[in-house]
Structure 1
Amino acid sequence: MGMNGRVYVVLVTPKNLESKVRTRLFLKEHEWGRIDYRELPQYHFGPDFFNWLMLKKREEITDLRGDKLELRDVVGFSTGNGNSGQARGSATFTGSGGDISSQPATQTMISTASNFNRLTLSLEYKDTCYHFELGELAECNVDSDNTYKKNGRDEFKHVNVHEAIITIYYEIIPLLKSAFHMEVTSGTFRPKYEEFQKQAGLFVIADIVKQLNLTKKDIDSLDCFPKL
């Protein structure tokens, strides 16, 4: 897609062929010019964007234009120092499963401000359910088996994976970025997320207390509480 002298590219290819496709398509002279993919603008998501998605689970998300989608669930995550510049040997944690943000391990990561850099999302947009993994550099891996259009109460139709990817990049990601930016600039995101972190931490503490049969005396004996 060309726009104002620039070319925007969505590359749909198996991971093992990506470098070969980039070399043959991009680093080559064409009759209309040459593409250098290193200069192509692309989405980049920081940890707060993924934190916001965790927070918005099971909510309807609306952008500045009034476009809407429902984030049905977050069913997978990866956390670490990021894809780019990650130190060798640094810890990376992954997880998957329904309602994953309510699991103790994930809640611990939320409460301790771990950097999520990849999430698997299940969302509904314009009567179509999308299931895909989204990385910090906008890498997108669509689960075609769980991406479908709802034709009726009990009727479902699979969506062409290429159409799904175009919709995700052209409509869904811009909608999410717009809604996230709106909450950040209005100042509503940070207080909501800090309360979300606090509640996640409390759930983890409650689970530990239950599992270890801790008493109030045990908890009061900890040095982390200020002496009054």
Structure 2
Amino acid sequence: MAGKEIKLSLWALDPTINIETVSDLMQLNYNKIIDYLEDRNDISRFDKTLMNRWREYDQDRGFKVQEIEVFGSAFRYISAYAYFETTIGHDTAIIDGTVLPRERRISENELPVFFFEFIGRVYVVVSGSQYKINNIRTLLMGHGRHTNDEQKQWKRVQLKDIPNFNFTSDFFYWLISKENKTVETALVKMDINDIRFLAQSGTERSDVRHESQGANILDEAVSKTGLGVNSRVDMIGTTISFEGGHINLIIFDNGVCWVDNYNSAMNGITGELEAFEENLEMGALTLFCGILPELKTAYNNDKNNNLWTTEHQAKARKLWALGAINELCSENDITYEEIIELEWFLK
């Protein structure tokens, strides 16, 4: 079972790889001999082999390419489990020359992985913690030591600057401005219900990083001050409601998303709401094929139609700055006479 947060990382496959290629690559042999046991003849081949492989997400579908409709558009995808085994080190696996039983030195790991085509490229969404998902690339995508030529057919996996899923600070300022409003595109209406997490870092005068979390954080002087001085925003937490569900999440600037499993739900097959984890395939694909791209579309539409310009952002920053000043005056009983004695007003 997932905990409170479902962590969804995003990668992009090499542009030469299509979704059918992925289906073929999943059926390669990814088993790996444990280095320090390779020359041991007193144990079986199985006991010294890590049994790494892709497993079917749904046995009835296997690794066949599927199609899903998100907000009226069709996307091709493959869902799978990345299964890999990890082992303890040499010094703890071998005691007085005797190799411990397999079950005492090898751990099983299984993470859901979703491959989908978007604008001519295959993207990968992986659910799991960072230290575990790194093993998927090294053990199951041809990036590990002793990888054979066949496994290297995965080619390059892009981890940074993911096309179509990079979010700028200006995008996040725009999203903040949409708090408690409806964002609408040709495909979907999305209600931005709150801003509950905000990560700010760096201005022309400072390199300080600050994170705020909780209800009504935009009413707090610290958050308003950071926005007012044009700090860089690289993470936003909000709740997005749409026909089909609502997702409480944190969006990172590199497309990574952390979904609050306890406060997110998707419509199931019967139309009943299900926890995000219970409908992870639909939830992940809706998020990355629909929600995030449509937010970016709405942002670009506002930019192209001069509904969000540098002047709009400057005006918003001024309002946040004034709000911070008002909050600080209230908290510290600062008078008008004291305000006008500040250096800025004496110029």
Q: Are 1:139 and 2:256 an aligned pair? A: yes
Residues of 2 paired with 1:129 and 1:165: CA distance?
Answer: 12
Which consecutive residues of structure 1, in runs of 5 or more, have no partner in the other structure?
Answer: 82-89
Residues of 2 paired with 1:146 and 1:57: CA distance?
Answer: 18
Q: Are 1:175 and 2:294 an aligned pair? A: yes
Equivalent in the alignment of 2:192 = 71
> Which of 22, 26, 37 is matched with 2:157 structurally?
37
Contact in 2 for aligned 1:26/1:36 (Cα 8 Å):
no
Equivalent in the alignment of 1:22 = 137
> Which of 41, 47, 50 is matched with 2:169 structurally?
47
In the superposition, the TM-score normalised over structure 2's length comes to: 0.56
Contact in 1 for aligned 2:141/2:151 (Cα 8 Å):
no
Read off the aligned partner of 2:189 and give its amino acid letter.
K
Q: Are 1:99 and 2:202 an aligned pair? A: no
Residues of 2 paired with 1:134 and 1:36: CA distance?
Answer: 25
- 210-219 or 170-179: which moved more? 210-219
Moved over 3 A (4+): 3-6, 28-33, 39-42
Read off the aligned partner of 1:44 and give its amino acid letter.
N
Higher strand share: 2
Aligned-partner SS, 2:314: helix
Higher helix share: 1
Which consecutive residues of structure 2, in runs of 5 or more, have no partner in the other structure?
Answer: 1-17, 20-116, 144-148
CA offset at residue 200 of structure 1? 1.2
In the superposition, the TM-score normalised over structure 1's length comes to: 0.83
Residues of 1 paired with 2:267 and 2:122: CA distance?
Answer: 34
Q: Give CA-to-partner distance per residue, 1:41-81, whole Å, 9 cap, x none.
A: 43111100111111111110012x24211011111122225
Number of corresponding residues: 215
- Relative to structure 1, the CA distance from residue 210 to residue 101 in structure 2 (aligned partners, 3 Å threshold; closer, same or farther) is closer
Residues of 1 paired with 2:127 and 2:150: CA distance?
Answer: 20
- Relative to structure 1, the CA distance from residue 25 to residue 223 in structure 2 (aligned partners, 3 Å threshold; closer, same or farther) is same
Aligned-partner SS, 1:166: helix
Residues of 2 paired with 1:9 and 1:114: CA distance?
Answer: 31
Equivalent in the alignment of 2:22 = none
Q: CA RMSD in A?
A: 2.6
CA offset at residue 17 of structure 1? 0.8
CA offset at residue 215 of structure 1? 2.3
CA offset at residue 150 of structure 1? 7.3
Larger radius of gyration: 2
Work out the percentage of aligned pairs sharing the same amino acid.
20
Q: Are 1:210 and 2:327 an aligned pair? A: no
